[in-house]
Amino acid sequence: MNVLKPSFLALAVTAAASQFAVAGQQQEANGFIEESSLNLLNRNFYMNRDFRHGGSNSQGINGSKPANERNGYREEWAHGAMLNFASGFTQGIVGFGADAFAYGGVKLDTGRGRVGAGLLPISNNKTADAEVPDSFGEIGGAVKMRVSSTVLKYGEQRPTAPVFAMGDNRLLPEVATGFQLSSSEFDALSFEAGHFTAYNGKNSTNSDDGLFTSYAGVEADSVDFIGGTYKVSDNLSLMAYASEAEEVWRQYFGYASYTIPLADQRSLSFGLAAYKTSDEGEARAGELDTTSWSAKAAYSFGPHKLSLAYQKIDGDEFFDYIGVDSIWLANSVQYNDFNAPNERSMQVRYDVNMASFGVPGLTLMARYVKGDDIDGTKADPNGAFAGWAGDDEKHWERDLEAKYVVQSGSAKDLSFRVRQATHRSTSFDSDLDEVRLIIEYPLSIL
């Protein structure tokens, strides 16, 4: 590979070696078994998408490319169980441990012509002919080593870096395979670096799926990243990352968040996020030169919170990413990311905690996002985004959500969530209505 990967690994190894040199005992190492945890999450998930004009999801069934399906209705219902084990570390200067998981799902309802909502694994990318197993699952894990407060892991894991983050917005979570080094030797500063070569998507149970980008649908040979967070004060945090999807792009990320506490349970908070993406190596997605950024402000007063956000894509291609949660832009919402070429978008959002009104555990949310000024006519004619969007395209999305969490008793922490989205667009994207019903029950076994 080119110079970026070696520099990432060299910097990570150098950082780890410096910690090894000064480390005494591990921080709070109580033993492999003593610090172990075992948790089980049951999730029941129903989802439908009604494409109003018989169209299909603009990202396709696997979130990779546009698709033309005759049937514009998607409906899936399934139950999933996620068992996660995390060991402690053996005692001594160097501690060793292991993490493991077992995920399984059962199809409750769907059928030919209705699959493609992303809950269930399917046999191919053609909705009308897709086959869905009655049950499915996956088992995996990772080994880990700790010196002081620095941990190195290898195996299947769920990184959370803003340039490469595994998501959990369907039945089973995404998991990536590779190395990850994380360090929190200093209270205010945390650091991480990773090298990943495969992952399984939101509706896959294969641990060796390729690292395909969410929009262009092209495969990167590997993903490398390095970055960290600096907590300047209790109210101000800064974050910076650099990453490379081999033979596709290089991406840089910066983030700042600031909170101003006010009197009488009031506060103001601000967030600024930005990505810079440029093509790399073979440029498998075509020429890329995009700056994507968003600014968000929120005012909290008692149980209420009102948020406003502005987002801008400066570039002639879509802002793309690998991994569902690898987008920290403010207007990436339930259905759409508002990440089209040259797009500007604005959001208004309202949240309320109903505990103050006598219903503890109930929260409500409503938001509206509108995007316009989309112009995809200048995209690389030989690239993956050619012809995806015309000139002066626009769209909007409205999301509503209600969530209730049982507060006490034998069903404590049982949660019920209803999410509804409506999206309307000019010709470059789909008109749809979407409903998600999610029931979750977490259990701590160890």
Phi-psi region of 59 (alpha: psi -120 to 50; beta: other; left: phi over 0): alpha
- Calculate the alpha carbon distances from 441 to 19, 92, 100, 404, 438 in Å: 40, 37, 20, 12, 10
Alpha-carbon radius of gyration of the chain: 22
Residue 87: name the closest of 149, 158, 33 by CA. 33
The helix or strand, by DSSP H or E, that contains position 259, with its residue range, turns out to be strand 249-262
What's the number of domains the chain is made of? 1
Q: How many C-beta neighbours within 10 Å does residue 93 have?
A: 13
Q: What is the pTM of this model?
A: 0.90
pLDDT at 65: 37
Residue 259: name the closest of 299, 225, 221 by CA. 299
| Chain segment 174-221, per-residue pLDDT in tens | 999 999 999 999 999 999 999 999 999 888 888 888 999 999 999 999
Q: Is-contact 356 364, C-beta < 8 A?
A: no
Return the amino acid letter for 262.
L
Domain that holds residue 246: 4-444
Question: Bridge-partner residues for 85, per DSSP?
Answer: 38, 100
DSSP states of 106-174 = EEEE--TTT--SSSS--SSS-GGG----SEEEEEEEEEEEEETTEEEEEEEE--EETTEE---SSSS--
The two three-digit tokens of residue 79, written as one number: 């139950």
Q: What are phi and psi of 332, to 5 degrees?
A: -80, 105
| Residues of the chain predicted below pLDDT 70 | 1-28, 54-71, 112, 123-129
Measure the CA dihedral 205/208/210/214, to 10°: 30
CATH number, domain at 116? 2.40.160.10
Residues 371, 125: Cα–Cα separation, whole Å: 29
pLDDT at 59: 42
Residues 418, 203: Cα–Cα separation, whole Å: 21
Return the amino acid letter for 227.
G
| Chain segment 403-421, per-residue pLDDT in tens | 999 999 999 999 999 999 9
SS3 state at 18: helix
* HEC profile of 178-227: EEEEEEEEECCEEEEEEEEEEEECCCCCCCCCCEECCCCCCEECCEEEEE
∠ Cα 123 124 128 (to 5°):
95
Residues 305, 284: Cα–Cα separation, whole Å: 42
Residues 400, 422: Cα–Cα separation, whole Å: 9
pLDDT at 53: 72
DSSP states of 40-82 = EEEEEEEEEEEETTS---TTTTTTSS----S--EEEEEEEEEE
Q: Is-contact 80 104, C-beta < 8 A?
A: yes
CA 226 to chain centre: 17
Return the amino acid letter for 386.
A
- All residues at 6 or more sequence positions from 89 whose CB lies less than 8 Å from its CB, including other chains: 26, 29, 31, 32, 35, 95, 96, 97, 144, 146
